């Protein structure tokens, strides 16, 4: 008896029925399901689409998933999900296989093939219905069809006979037209992809914002506890020549460690050169040699220096001397 490690995961209607109820309705989950993929799927599988007339008693939502139950291929017994079906299929096998499944959770190839057959039959018989925006019709497709993931997208709009009104933002640039021939009837369908494209752009912008926040948290963590934020110098992968030049500039050994580089950079940041004071200070009464200077000399110095202003004893009209009187 050949044993398979685990029952293969089903990607059929069981997973789709829960995913269709999510916020973005499979747009975020199917990142590779773009406009180009939809065009190829529509061109190859348009025969899977069926157009049905809405009845007056139709009260289902815009997107309705009619699931059929899983049935045992041997006794036609209903099962709630794939786990229950596997447990039931094992009961048709020998006691040895039942013990192995109970202890190890593995099944043989025969049980796995029966599980595949049951899920495929459920996908073929389950129907997804989507209302057409401007006509009293529904567009139906089986869950086994490659078109199901696209039609289940919440932002996809389907029109019949005439395209939607083109706005300045959309301009019908994301509009796909396909004529369905069903007997003597021709149904011109228009699939509007503009809403889905906006959701893709929103998801992309959110991912970019999330990455920026992650990078900001990383940079903030480098600033904590006195860490150095110079990423280009500390964490950069340098060539041998760059390493020698850096070691020579910071007076470090050729085989310096990262901690030695950090310490050298901190010392460099704290270093202050002893520069001579180039500013010139003047005494109001004496020069640099201690000799007395006259009033005219002080006035001359005040015109040449920004740190010496002579206004004491001035008789000229200025803002510092407001005791004068205007002549009438």
Query: Per-residue pLDDT tens for 266-290?
Result: 777 666 655 555 454 545 677 667 7
* pLDDT bracket for residue 6 (50, 70, 90): low
Rounded distance between C-alpha atoms, residue 101 and residue 112, angstroms:
12
Of 220 and 130, the structure prediction assigns the larger pLDDT to: 130
Question: Which whole-number Å values give the CA distances from 28 to 128, 206, 252, in the listed order?
Answer: 20, 12, 52
Do the domain assignments include residue 286? no
- Cβ atoms of 130 and 158 closer than 8 Å: yes
* pLDDT bracket for residue 292 (50, 70, 90): confident
Rounded distance between C-alpha atoms, residue 112 and residue 54, angstroms:
40
Flag whether the pTM goes above 0.85.
no
Do the domain assignments include residue 298? no
- Determine what percent of the chain is predicted with pLDDT higher than 90: 13
pLDDT tens sequence across 166-186: 655 555 667 888 998 888 888
- Cβ atoms of 139 and 158 closer than 8 Å: yes
Number of structural domains in the chain: 1
Do the domain assignments include residue 46? no
- According to the per-residue pLDDT averaged within each range, which of 76-90, 172-186, 212-226 is highest? 76-90
| Mean pLDDT, residues 155-165 taken together | 87
| 2, pLDDT greater than 80 | no
Do the domain assignments include residue 259? yes
Do the domain assignments include residue 265? yes
Q: Which domain holds residue 251?
A: 227-270
| 58, pLDDT greater than 60 | yes
HEC string of 144-206?
A: CCCCHHHHCCCCCEEEECCCCCCCCCCCCCCEEEEEEEECCEEEEEEEECHHHHHHHHHHHHH
Task: State residue 190's pLDDT score.
Answer: 92
| Mean pLDDT, residues 289-317 taken together | 60
C-alpha torsion sign, points 200, 205, 211, 214: negative
Task: State residue 172's pLDDT score.
Answer: 61
| 236, pLDDT greater than 80 | no
Task: State residue 49's pLDDT score.
Answer: 92
Q: Please list, in sequence order, all residues whose beta carbon lies within 8 angstroms of the beta carbon of residue 54, skipping any fewer than 6 positions away.
A: 131, 136, 137, 138
Q: Looking at the chain, which runs of residues are DSSP E strands?
A: 3-4, 50-53, 63-66, 70-71, 78-79, 107-108, 127-131, 137-142, 157-160, 175-182, 185-192
Do the domain assignments include residue 239? yes
- Cβ atoms of 152 and 121 closer than 8 Å: no
Do the domain assignments include residue 325? no
Do the domain assignments include residue 252? yes
Q: Please list, in sequence order, all residues whose beta carbon lies within 8 angstroms of the beta carbon of residue 292, skipping any fewer than 6 positions away.
A: 285, 286
pLDDT tens sequence across 95-114: 888 888 888 888 888 888 99
């Amino acid at each position: 008896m050949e044993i398979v490690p685990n029952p293969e995961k089903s990607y059929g209607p069981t997973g789709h029925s829960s995913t269709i109820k999510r916020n973005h309705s499979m747009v975020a989950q199917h990142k590779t399901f773009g406009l180009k993929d939809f065009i190829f799927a529509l061109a190859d599988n348009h025969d899977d689409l069926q157009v049905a007339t809405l009845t007056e008693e139709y009260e289902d939502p815009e997107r309705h998933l009619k699931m059929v139950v899983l049935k045992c291929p041997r006794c036609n017994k209903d099962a709630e999900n794939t786990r229950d079906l596997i447990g039931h299929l094992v009961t048709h096998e020998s006691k040895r296989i039942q013990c192995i499944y109970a202890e190890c959770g593995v099944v043989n190839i025969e049980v796995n093939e029966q599980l595949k057959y049951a899920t495929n039959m459920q996908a073929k018989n389950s129907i997804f219905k989507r209302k057409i925006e401007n006509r009293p019709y529904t567009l139906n497709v089986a869950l086994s069809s490659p078109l199901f993931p696209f039609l289940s997208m919440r932002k996809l709009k389907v029109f019949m006979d005439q395209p939607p009104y083109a706005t300045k933002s959309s301009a019908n640039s994301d509009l796909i037209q396909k004529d369905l021939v069903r007997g003597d009837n021709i149904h011109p369908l228009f699939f509007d992809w503009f809403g889905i494209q906006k959701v893709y752009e929103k998801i992309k912008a959110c991912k970019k914002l999330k990455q920026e926040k992650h990078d900001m948290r990383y940079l903030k963590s480098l600033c904590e506890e006195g860490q150095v934020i110079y990423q280009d110098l500390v964490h950069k992968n340098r060539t041998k020549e760059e390493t020698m030049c850096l070691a020579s500039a910071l007076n470090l050994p050729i085989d310096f460690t990262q901690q030695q580089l950090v310490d050298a950079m901190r010392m460099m940041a704290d270093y202050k050169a002893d520069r001579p004071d180039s500013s010139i200070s003047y005494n109001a009464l004496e020069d640099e040699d201690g000799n007395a200077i006259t009033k005219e000399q002080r006035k001359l110095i005040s015109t040449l220096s920004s740190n010496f202003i002579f206004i004491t004893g001035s008789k000229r009209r200025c803002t510092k001397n407001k005791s004068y009187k205007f002549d009438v």
